[in-house]
Amino acid sequence: MTWTLITGASGGIGRAFAAELAARGHDLVLTARREDELRATSDIIGAHGVRTELIPADLSDPAGRRHLLDELRARDLTISMLVNNAGFGSIGRFADLDADRLADEVELDVQTVVQLSRALLPAMLDAGHGSIVNVASTAAFQPLPTMAVYAAAKAFVLSFSQALWDEVRDQGVRVIAVCPGPTDTDFFVRAGDDDVLTGRRTPQQVALTCLDALDKGRPYVVDGLLNTVQAEVAKRTPVRLAMPLARAVMRHQD
């Protein structure tokens, strides 16, 4: 019996992945910090008749990551699909943001992706099948003043995912990075400014875009036509032009 592990499954894109994968018959291991919200996710997908295991854990803490992996072993849960969705951002001037929060941001957005992928990939390779989905962002395609750490972290996730895709694609394991643009979740509230980047797509659209591209064997996908165009433009725009444009788009008041 194999399972799909979804991090950050307490809401937003993680919950949308849970709902869509449950509809496709996946048994799910759900993890996030908030146990009550994990239970809410489990209740939402209950109609699909799949099994769920809940493992509350703070993945920004190395101890939380160890707890998750220990629980997988203790419960004898074999993971055939990993959705690295957990993450958060911070909006503001880098020098003004809380240093501990920034450290947690790097731990969750970068180190968790690496550690969980490294822990679970060997068994997928041994089995000759499996999938790793890493949630990146359109922020991966350009530096973002006032979201410097988040954009850099997501650039790492995108680069890492593409390299991993090439390493394992001939061994039965699929890897993809999905790059959402602004999405209708609590991300911007948690980041500190819910008034930036409006015109957001839904978490369900992100999940469906990703899973369709995963089935096609793509190394990454940008969610939404407008976001795709903007990402392509960003990749080709010189930095000295891109930075003022990025700041204008963020509409952040310094």
Residues 46 and 38: their CA atoms lie apart, in Å, by 12
Q: Which residues of 20-37 are buried (b: 16+ CB within 10 A; e: fewer)?
A: bbbeeebbbbbbbbeeeb
Cβ(116)–Cβ(107) under 8 Å?
no
Which residues have a catalytic role annotated? 150
Assess contact for 18 and 27: CB atoms under 8 A. Answer: no
Dig out the tokens for 117 from the structure. Answer: 């992928």
For every residue of 78-138, DSSP letters joined together read EEEEEEE-------S-GGGS-HHHHHHHHIIIIIHHHHHHHHHHHHHHHHT-EEEEEE--G
Short-list 16, 32, 43, CA closest to 185: 16
